[in-house]
Amino acid sequence: MTQKLLITNAAQLITMAGHNDHPAKQEAMSDLEIIENGSVYIEEGKVVAVGTDEEVRADYQDLIGTESHIDATGKVVTPGLIDPHTHLVHAGTRENEYAMRLKGKTYMEIMQAGGGIHATTRATQAASHEQLYEESRKRLDQFLLHGVTTVEAKSGYGLTLEHELKQLEVAKQLDSEHPVDIVSTFMGAHAVPIDEKDNPEPFVNRVIDEMIPEVANKKLATFNDVFCERGVFTPEQSKRILEAGKQHGLIPKVHADEIEPYGGAELAAQVGAISADHLLKASEQGIKDMAEADVVGVLLPGTAFFLMAEFADARRMIDGGVAVALSTDANPGSSPTISLPFIMNLGCLKMGMTPEEVLTATTINAAHAIGAAGEIGSLEPGKKGDVTIFNVPNYLVLSYQYGMNHVDTVIKAGKALVLGGQLQ
Ligand SMILES: N=CN[C@@H](CCC(=O)O)C(=O)O
Ligand SMILES: [Zn+2]
């Protein structure tokens, strides 16, 4: 039987149409392409028709009132939200470090003393494939309940070939078994193993000579990411790792200028990265380089919030011509949340973004940050039938009422998986 779904009469249908070739920049980030009293028809997982209720309803009258009909009267309909930067697959939590930070220890001090990423690495190495799968599956359910239909997921808590592969294989299995789509990133260069911290070169060489070829050979990742930060990987080491990935078809991404200005944004532009992420301390030159090289700036305000750091200057980046996307950075150390709607609140309240810009940043621009704008990120004929319906009368309420989950319905490839805020 043909799979059909008709969504009718949304108070606002936010389509985000028209930005498939390039991410939205500057004024275009405010261009939501809203249809009032809008309807969408999805068939076999793909969007077929988008328009006013009058236009669309006429062709699909027979579905009204059936199981294949969702009445969105009084609600806001958007493309399924996309989270373009997560550390989804990991074991355990680090609330003990949170308590230490509240007493004055810094994130980097904790990491350099063997905690931080190293603590989660120990837990992730010790966890079985099944344990990691189960922990991560629960997080994916939470993402779905918060309106997210696609996430990027990084490795980087394995730090050996065996355990990096384990993380990526868990992500692959989740991608095929859980309705939320996963796009994978290899991040073997997330930290230098603590017992090698005084001599990182052999580890850098293992990432380049052993891990990257094997990950690429097994087709376990699309992207290759590196934590370019003082005390972690230098710009020179990062560049070697990213160039090596390119040789094996892995597209570069950079954890850039998170703790201090370190040339990460400049490096992302130089190597042709698809995105540079964090950017709290990005330099003027780095922002200029990113705008010119079309590197998407993935901003993670949850991390600044949770590390009690100064927020990235989204306003300066958008005005300077950088296409901005937003993400949770979901991870156990610097941003233990899966709430993309809360990240949207922070985008407005702490980074100078407008309600229109944060919607663009979590839909079409987020799709561009993971190279998926041809398939997701907007509601246009031919795209995946991924839809989020919010129980609010207009989109301004989403960024105005903060810390709340207004998600009512989530549709993945034409199938309703969340109804009335509940997983089905
Ligand atoms: N900054 C580097 N990596 C992660 C944090 C990882 C962790 O603390 O476990 C991030 O993006 O914030
Ligand atoms: Zn990260």
Residues 314-328: tens digit of each pLDDT? 999 999 999 999 999
Q: Which residues are annotated as a binding site for N-formimidoyl-L-glutamate?
A: 157, 331, 333
Give the tokens for residue 407.
Answer: 């998600």
CB-based contacts of 343, cutoff 8 Å, min separation 6: 300, 301, 302, 326, 327, 328, 337, 362
Atom of ligand 1 nearest to the CA of 335: 12
* Ligand 1 close to Cβ of residue 329 (< 6 A): yes
The amino acid sitting at 403 is G
Per-residue confidence at 392, pLDDT binned at 50, 70, 90?
very high
Sign of CA dihedral 99, 100, 103, 109: negative
Find out whether 261 and 285 touch, Cβ atoms under 8 Å: no
In this prediction, residue 247 carries a pLDDT of 98
Q: Which fold has domain 4-80+377-423?
A: Urease, subunit C; domain 1 (2.30.40)
C-alpha to C-alpha distance for 332 and 156, rounded to whole angstroms: 13
Spatial distance between the Cα atoms of 144 and 151, rounded to a whole number of angstroms: 10
* DSSP secondary structure string for all residues of 118-129: HHHHHHHHHS-H
CA 168 to chain centre: 16
pTM: 0.99
Dihedral over Cα of 405, 411, 412, 417: its sign: positive
Reduced to 3 states (helix: H, G, I; strand: E, B; else coil), residue 224 is strand
**pLDDT tens-digit series, residues 167-219:** 999 999 999 999 999 999 999 999 999 999 999 999 999 999 999 999 999 99
Separation of alpha carbons 341 and 145, rounded Å: 11
Going by the DSSP 8-state scheme, the letter that residue 222 receives in this structure is S
Task: Compute how many other C-beta atoms are within 10 angstroms of the C-beta atom of residue 68.
Answer: 19
Cβ neighbours for 118, distance < 8 A, ≥ 6 positions apart: 111, 191, 193, 194
CA distances from 413 to 19, 137, 149 (A): 20, 19, 9
Q: SS3 helix, strand, coil % of the chain, rounded to 5?
A: 40, 25, 35
Q: How far is the CA of 98 from the centre of ligand 2 (A)?
A: 17
Q: What local confidence, expressed as pLDDT, does residue 390 receive?
A: 99
pLDDT tens figures, 278-304: 999 999 999 999 999 999 999 999 999
Q: In one letter, which amino acid is 423?
A: L
ipTM > 0.95 (yes/no): yes
How do beta strands 148-154 and 181-189 pair? parallel
Helix axes 161-177, 129-145, angle to 10 degrees: 50
The answer to whether residues 72 and 113 touch, using CB atoms and an 8 Å cutoff, is no
Q: What is the Cα–Cα distance from 208 to 193, expressed in whole angstroms?
A: 15
116 lines ligand 1 (CB under 6 A): yes
Res 49: pLDDT: 98
The residues pairing with 276 across neighbouring beta strands, listed in sequence order, are: 254, 297
Per-residue pLDDT averaged across 259-286, rounded? 98
Q: Provide the percentage of residues in the chain whose pLDDT is more than 70.
A: 100
Specify the pLDDT at position 46: 98
Which of 101, 155, 329, 337 has most ligand 1 atoms within 8 Å of CB, for mutation?
329
Q: 81-370, superfamily in CATH?
A: Metal-dependent hydrolases (3.20.20.140)
Ligand 1 test: best mutation among 96, 117, 167, most atoms within 8 Å of CB?
Answer: 117
The pLDDT of 83-107, averaged and rounded, is 98
Main-chain dihedrals φ then ψ at residue 90, nearest 5 degrees: -160, 165
Percent of the chain topping pLDDT 90: 100
Question: For position 320, what pLDDT does the model report?
Answer: 98
Residue span(s) of the chain under CATH 3.20.20.140 come to 81-370
Cβ contact 230:259 at 8 Å: yes
Mean pLDDT score across all residues of the chain: 98
Rounded distance, CA 371 to CA 22, Å?
10
Distance (Å, rounded) from C-alpha 148 to C-alpha 79?
A: 9
Query: What's the pLDDT score for residue 280?
Result: 98
Q: CATH 2.30.40.10 residue ranges in the chain?
A: 4-80+377-423
